[in-house]
Homo-oligomer: A and B are copies of this chain.
Amino acid sequence: MRKIVECVPNFSEGRRPEVIDAIVDALREVPGIRVLDQHADPNHNRLVVTLVGEPEATAEAAFRGAQRAVELINMEEHQGEHPRIGAVDVIPFVPVQWVSMRDCVSLARQVGRRIAQELGVPVYLYGEAATRPERRDLAAVRKGQYEGLKAEIHLPHRQPDFGEARMHPTAGATAVGARAPLIAFNINLDTSDVTIARKIARAIRGSSGGFRDVRALGVMISDRGIAQVSINVCDYRTAPLHRVFEVVRSEASRYGVRVLGSEIVGLVPLDALVEAAEYCLRLQGFDRKQVLERRIWSTLEGEPT
């Protein structure tokens, strides 16, 4: 089985189709790269692309996309609702198959250094690639956005990891990092009282003392008349789905509320589901190589299991 990395670069352009196409074409032209998804949002004025490939190809694609965006986007004229610090706002590398988080941290450093050296854009390492604890959190890196960072970049605590401590005149700065795949996991409650969902969200999210790598909100699903705990599991290794689910269920029960069910929006890594199955079946000594399909894929490709 080949090594596969996912990369989800975010660019500060969601309105001009010719710029969007030029950036996506630059990513795509690297051999072996597949674009799984692209989403341009005019209100956010932002383009989010999901691509996969082998590590070196993915790094090359991320660089070429950044190069094109630096040529075509002028942050001095950029407006949009989403927080951003540059034309290439953020580039996360995500391990998928036969690649470790450490490998993704190396890719982030390699691409970050190259963006600074060849494009003259200062780069901040974030997530698992962060060099300072406070920069694990992307929000801290992006504090003040483009305009605020421009004013503060000379200060010692805002020094970039690569490049000089001044913004690129049109492309600003870029955050490059490594992170686990994000899982959008929503749990529906048998109540129309959204305050209960909000209390549960506070109990589980890192920002109020819950699981470090969980973000959560209590929201109302109007068309169904039910409250929902809307959750982003940012690292299922520290916050497995079953554990998050069990805490939500237990907290709901203290208000006399049942869990109706849950939903996963978008993609979920195989391992996150296998872990839930292991919990549910009290499986001991299970090795992920025992998954039939994984065994077959690796055998058919004739590479190490």
List chain A positions with a Cβ less than 8 A from chain B.
4, 6, 34, 36, 52, 96-97, 181, 241-242, 245, 259-264, 266-270, 273-274, 276-277, 279-286, 290-297, 299-300
B281–A262 contact, CB under 8 A?
A: yes
A273 and B273 alpha carbons, distance in the complex (Å) = 7
Provide a sorted-by-A list of 27 A–B residue pairs whose CB atoms are within 8 angstroms: A4-B296, A6-B296, A34-B296, A34-B299, A36-B295, A36-B296, A52-B299, A97-B293, A242-B281, A245-B280, A259-B282, A260-B282, A261-B282, A261-B283, A262-B283, A263-B284, A263-B285, A264-B290, A266-B290, A267-B290, A268-B292, A270-B292, A273-B291, A276-B276, A276-B281, A277-B280, A280-B280
Q: Is the CB of B268 within 8 A of A97?
A: no
B-chain residues with CB within 8 Å of residue A276 when the two chains form the complex: 276-277, 280-281
Partner of A284, one of B261, B270, B290, B299: B261
Most chain B beta carbons < 10 A, residue from A274, A277, A297: A277
Other A-B pairs, 8, CB within 8 Å; known A264-B290, A267-B291: A36-B299, A242-B281, A245-B281, A262-B284, A263-B284, A267-B295, A270-B294, A280-B280
Q: How far is the CA of A34 from the CA of B286 in the complex (A)?
A: 24
Is the pair B282, A269 in contact by a Cβ cutoff of 8 Å? Answer: no
Query: How far, in Å, is A36 (CB) from chain B's closest CB?
Result: 6
Contact residues in B for A283 (Cβ distance below 8 Å): 261-264
- State in angstroms the CA–CA spacing of A227 and B237 once bound together: 33
List B contacts of A274 (CB < 8 A).
Answer: 273, 277
The smallest C-beta distance from A154 to any residue of chain B, in angstroms, reads 41
A293 to B263, CA, bound (A): 19
**Are B291 and A270 within 8 A (Cβ)?**
yes
Inter-chain contact B245/A296, CB cutoff 8 Å? no
A242 CB, min distance to chain B CBs, angstroms: 6
Query: B269 contacts A293, CB within 8 Å?
Result: yes
A280 to B243, CA, bound (A): 10
Report the minimal beta-carbon distance from A231 to chain B, rounded to whole angstroms: 12
A290 / chain B contacts, CB cutoff of 8 Å: 264, 266-268
CA distance A273 to B181 in the complex (A): 20
Are B282 and A262 touching (Cβ within 8 A)? Answer: yes
